[in-house]
Chain A
Amino acid sequence: MSESLRQDLAPILAARALKKHFGIRRGWLRRATLHAVDGVSFEVAPGEVLGIVGESGCGKSTVARILVGLVEPDEGSLKLDDIEIAVGNRRGVNQVRKQIQMVFQDSFASLNPRLTLGESIAFTASARGASRRASAERALALLAAVGLDPSRFAHRYPHEASGGQRQRVNIARSLAGDPRVLVLDEAVSALDKSIEAQILNLLQDLKEEMHLTYLFISHDLHVVRYMSDRVAVMYLGKVVESGNAADVMSMPLHPYTSALVRATPTGDPARRVAKPPLEGEPPSAIDLPSGCRFRSRCPRAQAMCAEQEPALRFEGLRQVACHFPL
C-alpha cells in the first residue's frame, strides 16, 4: 500500500504510550520491577502489515498480549476504530476485542489435544454465537480456506497433523470469529523453511480475501521485511525505530537496527558477516541502563546518552529514538 493512500485512512488500531511493568521476586523479600513494555505507541492502517522486530525480552510478545487482552497494560490507551479497549468495562470491551485475534508460535500447545481440528475451529465460531450446525459448517469452510481438505482433516486430532498443518488450523481458528486484525506472534518461527514459505503465502492470500490487517511479530528480519509495509524495531521495552519496512532495513537510522541488520546472515557466501556488530547481550529489563537503553552496547554512545533518554522523534516519514542517528 502506498504511503499517500495510507495517510488518508483513519487507523484501525492505535496504541498510545502502552506501559506494562511486572513485579518480580528476587529472593526473600526482595522485589524488583521488570520493564516489559515502557511507553510503546503505534498506529496501524486498515489492510496494512505492521512488523515488530526485536530480540528476546524486548517486549514484543507483551505488546501482542496487550493487543488481544491477555495482559492488561498499567498505562496507555489502545483504540480499535476510536473505541478504547485497553481498560474499562470488560464485558463491553470484549465484544469489540473479538475483532483482534492471535496466532501463537507453538502450534501444538495452542490447540486443545482432546478436540478434533474441526471441533477446535467450530468451538471458536460457536463462542461467537453461531448455532451448532452453522459452526460446524464454518469450520469445514475455514479448513478449506487454509488449504486443508476438510474430509481428511476435520476429524483428526492435533497430534495426527504436522506442524505446518496445525499452524494452518490455528490460522483457521483465529478467523472463525471474523476478525479484522490478526496478531501473528512468531507464527512461522517454529516451522521448517519449506513449510514457512507455504504459510507466508497463505497469510498473504487470506489478507487479500478477507481484508485483514496484520501485526506481524518475529525475530527473523528477512521474514519481517518480506511481509511488512511498515516495521517497528523494539529494544528493552521501547520502540527505537519505525518506518517503511524496506527503508528501515536497507538504511537503518538507529545503531541497534543497523547492528541487527548486519548480524543477520544473508546466505550469500560473498557477503559473509566480517565481524559481529555487537558485543555481549541485551541487559535485563530489570536493571536498565540510565539514559538510552542501548548505550551499554552502542558503538556510537557518548556521555549525553547516559544522562538523557532519547525520545522517539520524526526524521522525515520515519521515527527514531537516538541522539546520534546514522
Chain B
Amino acid sequence: MQPRPAQPLVAIEGLSVTFHAAGGPVYAVQGLCLELKQGRTLAILGESGSGKSVTLRALLGLLPRDQARVDGSIRVAGHDVTRLGGRALNRYRGKVASMVFQDPGTALDPVYKVGRQIAECIVNHEGASWSVALRRAVALLDRVKVPSAAVRANAYPHELSGGLRQRVMIALALACNPVLLLADEPTTALDPTVQIQIVHLLRELQQDLGMSVIFVTHDIGVAVEVADEIAIMYAGRIVESASTPVIALRPAHPYTIALLAARAASAVRGQRLNAIAGSPPALTERSACCSFAPRCSRAAAICGTQSPQRAHVAEGHFAECFFPEVPESALRREAMT
C-alpha cells in the first residue's frame, strides 16, 4: 500500500509501553509522538534505558503481549500495528517493515547457511520456489556488497566476520522489499573503519530503494552521519526532534545541549568536560513532571510539578521543555505575530 505523499509513512501517537516486571511496572515509553515521511531517515538518539529500542520493537509488533502493555496508536503505511495479530502481523513484518539487530551473531541462526536463511524468508513471504529464492538471496548479498556473494551464501554465520554478518542481516531485512527499515544500533559492535562502511551502505540503500529508515543509536556522531532528522529520547519520551543540522548546531532542549557539550570530541585536552551531573531516572514511576529537571541547569519550580508539553521551537523543530533555548529569529517572528 503506497501512502499519499502528504501522509507520513510512520505516525505514532501517544505511545506508552509498560512492562509488568516482578518488582512492579516499568514505564519504558511514556506518551511518545513521532512522524516520519517516506524516503527519510530518522535517528532516535538516547542513552540506555531511554526507551529507544522498545519504541523500535513496538513498531514491529515484537513486544510480548503478556508482559508489555502497549497504549496509543502506531500507523505504518496504513497498517494499525498495535491491532495486527497472527498472519496479518507476519505479513506486515518483512513486507512493510523489517529490522536489523545490533548483534548479527545472535540474530542469525547458527545452523543454517546464510543464503538459505535469506531464501527462507522469500519462500515464506512470497511463495517463491526455493531455486528462485536462493538466486535472489545471492543477488541480495551482492547488493549489500558481500564480496563473492555466491560463495558466501554457502557460509554459516560463524564463518563470517562481524562486518559481513551485519551485511547479511541487512540483506535478510531487505529480502521482501520493505518500505520501512528499522535498525537497532546496527554498527555499535563494529570497529570504526567497518562501522562507517555499514553506515554508508544503509544510506545508499535508503536512497536507491526509496525506503524510510529509523536508526536507533546512542552515538551522536553516527546519528549525524546517517540521518536526515534526529529525535532525542530521554526517560521514555522524545524531548526534542528536528532536522540533523538543527539538532547538531542549534539544539533547543537543555538535555540535547548538555549532551553535545559533554562530548570528548569537542573538548580541548586539559579542559574539564561539561559532564551532566547525576543519572537518568528509574522508570518505575510514571513521571508527572519533567524527567530531566533534577539534572537540568535551567530547571525552575514549574519543572518539578508539571510535565512540559511539546513546544514548537521553529519550523519542524519541537522540544518538550518549559524553557527551551530559542533562536533569536524565532523569537522575533513570534513577537511580530
Residues of A within 8 A of B (CB): 55-56, 162-165, 192-198, 200-201, 204, 219-223, 225-228, 245-246, 259-260, 263-270, 272-273, 275-282
> 8 Å CB contacts to A: which residues of B37-67?
47-48
Most buried by B among A162, A163, A219, A267: A267
Looking at chain B's contact residues, the main secondary structure is helix
The reply to whether A197 and B224 form a contact with Cβ atoms under 8 Å apart is no
In the complex, are the beta carbons of B259 and A246 less than 8 A apart? no
The 3 closest A-B pairs by CB, nearest first: A265-B221, A197-B275, A55-B191
How far does the Cβ of A277 sit from chain B's closest Cβ, in whole Å? 7
In the complex, what distance in Å separates the CA atom of A260 from the CA atom of B195?
Answer: 11
Q: How far apart are the CA atoms of A194 and B256 in the complex, in Å? A: 11
CA distance A269 to B223 in the complex (A): 10
With A193-B259, A194-B279, A228-B269 known, 13 other A-B pairs at CB within 8 A are A55-B193, A56-B191, A200-B275, A201-B272, A265-B222, A268-B224, A269-B245, A269-B248, A270-B245, A273-B199, A275-B200, A278-B197, A281-B163
Which of B163, B218, B222, B272 contacts A192 (CB under 8 A)? B218
Establish whether residues B219 and A265, one from each chain, have CB atoms under 8 Å apart when the complex forms. yes
For the A-B complex, the count of residue pairs with Cβ-Cβ distances under 8 Å equals: 131
Q: Which of B109-143 contact A (CB under 8 A)?
A: none
- Asked if A225 and B275 sit within 8 Å, CB to CB, the answer is no
Contact A55 B192 (CB under 8 A): yes
* B211-248 near A? 1/0 per residue, CB < 8 Å: 00000001111101100000000000000000011001
CB-based contact B192/A267 at 8 Å: no
Please tell me if the beta carbons of A198 and B275 are within 8 angstroms of each other in the complex: yes
- 13 sampled A-B residue pairs with Cβ under 8 A: A192-B47, A194-B275, A194-B279, A197-B276, A198-B275, A204-B272, A226-B265, A260-B193, A265-B224, A267-B260, A267-B266, A268-B248, A281-B191
Q: Which residues of A contact B161 (CB under 8 A)?
A: 281
A248 to chain B, nearest CB (A): 13
Decide: B48 and A194 in contact? CB cutoff 8 A: no
Q: Is B330 an interface residue (CB 8 A)?
A: no
Which A-chain residue is minimally distant from B262 (CB atoms)?
A: A197
Provide the residues of chain A in CB contact with B260, threshold 8 Å. 267
Contacts A162-B279, A192-B47, A267-B224 hold; do A278 and B193 have CB atoms under 8 A apart? yes
A105 to B218, CA, bound (A): 17
Contact assessment for A265 and B196 in the assembled complex, using a CB-CB cutoff below 8 Å: yes
A273: nearest chain-B partner, CB-CB: B196
The residues of A that contact B48 with a CB separation of less than 8 Å are 163, 192
**Residues of chain B within 8 A of A219, CB atoms compared:** 191-192
